[in-house]
Structure 1
Amino acid sequence: MSEDVVVRGLAVGGRAVTTDEVVRVEGLSRTFGRGEHAVHAVRDVSFSAGRGELVAVRGRSGAGKTTLLNLVGGLDRPNAGRVVVAGHEVTSAGERELLELRRGTIGFVFQTFGLVPILSAAENVGVPLRLARVPAAEREERVAVLLEMVGLGGHAAQRPYELSGGQQQRVAVARALANEPDLLIADEPTGQLDSETGRSIMDLLRAVVHARGMTALVATHDSALIDLADRVLTLRDGHLVDD
């Protein structure tokens, strides 16, 4: 898939980045354990990301990429620092507010796809919409649009085991976009895919981000995919060493 992709009727050809800030991270730190056994996974990290921007987070295994993404997405709590996403302070949010943020403001794509095996592609994409109590007719229409957007319009009735790895990840992307989040977090979304399929997934993410004016944080160790990002954050031993 090239950048000349149509996403919900918007032709994408090149960057469409705006300056509106969606993510602000200030002095973020996370330590696991205590004393001599303490692991400083993230150390005093600060950065911001704007609307329409695809930001790659790179670093060796153990550099802190997953921990950082979990902190930004509210899946983990920092020892110090602050995270604000689309005007919502994630670090001080209670569990109910975090649940609402994950349902509407923040979408997640994981390396392992995370699809429900007994559900069809369409049903998997529709899960967030059911949780949000979107009416059935609107839900079905939105699911159909999302599957067409990721190139799987003809696979709506197939279950995950009937799809290739790349197709399963496309379903996962569509599901993450179901409630039109401001921020998309993708942790090694191409880690289980071959290089060609992985690039097509990264192309898809970039096209969607630019067309919809979202923000995406994508952790990857694949240097070939890093070139597709608008910006690159480099972590080393928990420190942000390059932006």
Structure 2
Amino acid sequence: MAEGIDPGAAGASGEVLTGDPMVRVEGLRRSYGTGEHAVHALRGVGLTVGRGELVALKGRSGSGKTTLLNLIGGLDTPDAGSVSVDGVDLAGLGERGLLRLRRDRIGFVFQSFGLIPILTAAENVGVPLRIREADPREREERVALLLSLVGLDGHAAQRPGELSGGQQQRVAIARALANRPALLIADEPTGQLDAETGMVVMNLIRAVVRSEGVTALVATHDAQWLGLADRVLELNDGEVVEDHGPR
């Protein structure tokens, strides 16, 4: 993390932090397949995301949203261009470096929840802390705090199959925040939820972004998201075609 940046500062005031951006993308290109059958998912995308910003990515299916998030999260490699997260150029990291970045600096929330069925809500939230070999007391305190933050402190002992879809997504959000990431990446986090539950989850993500001082990138088809974001980026055919809100 860049010196002089307090990752919790945005949480206290709700203001977007200034200084070096959390995410910088330049000339990003990614294609799948070859020849006439190639799919050009991204075509020279460039953007920045400031520290403490909540940015929504909108666009129809196939516009490049998921590809962009996967590249920013270090889950895929671009054909051309560069990605830096928290001042770190991803191209300069080997697989171990990318693994550490994803483990320590980035939290992921997916449409499919991705919870481990045999573990309780508390155990699911604690998985990243176990991987990091955090002190057991620290782990228990952090898990309890996060479950309280997402409104599930009374459901700690329940397994995913005993929870509603909205509750499962709240557990997934708590798990994504376990290691105090600088960046939260959410790909269609309300895609499996009804409209009312989806709005609850969207407001929750905005609240935890503020309270935890996290930067967030959220891809969505849901128009309700757009009013909650600091900025809205629209992708179409692999290019950013609209950028609404302060840079």
Alignment TM-score, normalising by the size of structure 2: 0.92
Map of 1:79-90 to 2, 5 A cutoff?
A: 79-90=79-90
Q: Is the 8 A contact 1:12 1:210 kept in 2?
A: yes
Provide the rounded CA distance (Å) in 2 between the counterparts of 1:95 and 1:101: 10
Is contact 1:29-1:80 (8 Å) kept?
yes
* CA offset digits 1:135-187 (Å, max 9, x no partner): 11110111000000000000000000000000000000000000000000000
Residues 58-207 of structure 1: matches in 2 within 5 Å? 58-207=58-207
- Counterpart contact for 2:60–2:236, Cα < 8 Å: yes
Mapped partners of 1:174, 1:79: distance in 2: 33
> In 1, Cα distance between the equivalents of 2:101 and 2:12?
30
CA distance in 1, matches of 2:83, 2:97: 14
* Structure 1 residue 92 displacement after superposition: 3.1
Give the alignment's Cα RMSD to 1 decimal: 1.7
Q: Deviations over 1:88-118 (max 9, x none)?
A: 1113321100110111101100000000000
Name structure 2 gaps, 5 residues minimum. Answer: 1-8
Cα distance between partner residues in 1 of 2:182 and 2:111:
20
Distance 1:182 1:53 in 2: 11
C-alpha deviation, 1:11, in angstroms: 11
* Cα contact 1:17–1:210 (8 A) shared by 2: no
Distance 1:150 1:66, change over 3 A: same
CA distance in 2, matches of 1:166, 1:119: 17
2:142 aligned partner, one-letter code: R
Specify the alignment match of 1:239 in structure 2: 239
Identify the residue that residue 31 of structure 1 maps to in structure 2: 31
The residue matched to 2:91 in structure 1 has which SS? coil
Shift of residue 211, structure 1, vs aligned partner: 2.4
State the identity as a percent: 67
Alignment of 1:43-62 (within 5 A): 43-62=43-62
Match for 1:16: what amino acid? E
Q: Matched residues in 1 for 2:213 and 2:91: separation? A: 24
Distance 1:38 1:11, change over 3 A: closer
* Range that drifts further, 11-20 or 119-128: 11-20
- 2:188 alignment partner AA: E
SS class of match (1:91)? helix
List structure 1 runs of 4+ shifted beyond 6 angstroms. 10-14
- Aligned length, in residue pairs: 235
Aligned to 1:4: none
Deviations 1:180-225 (A, max 9, x none): 0000000000000011111111111111112222110000011112
- What is the DSSP-based 3-state SS (H/G/I as helix, E as strand, rest coil) of the residue aligned with 2:113? coil
Report the Cα distance in structure 2 between the residues aligned to 1:124 and 1:132, rounded to whole angstroms.
Answer: 14
TM-score calculated relative to the size of structure 1: 0.93
Q: Contact conserved, 1:56 with 1:220, CA < 8 A, in 2?
A: yes
Q: CA shift at 1:14, angstroms?
A: 7.8
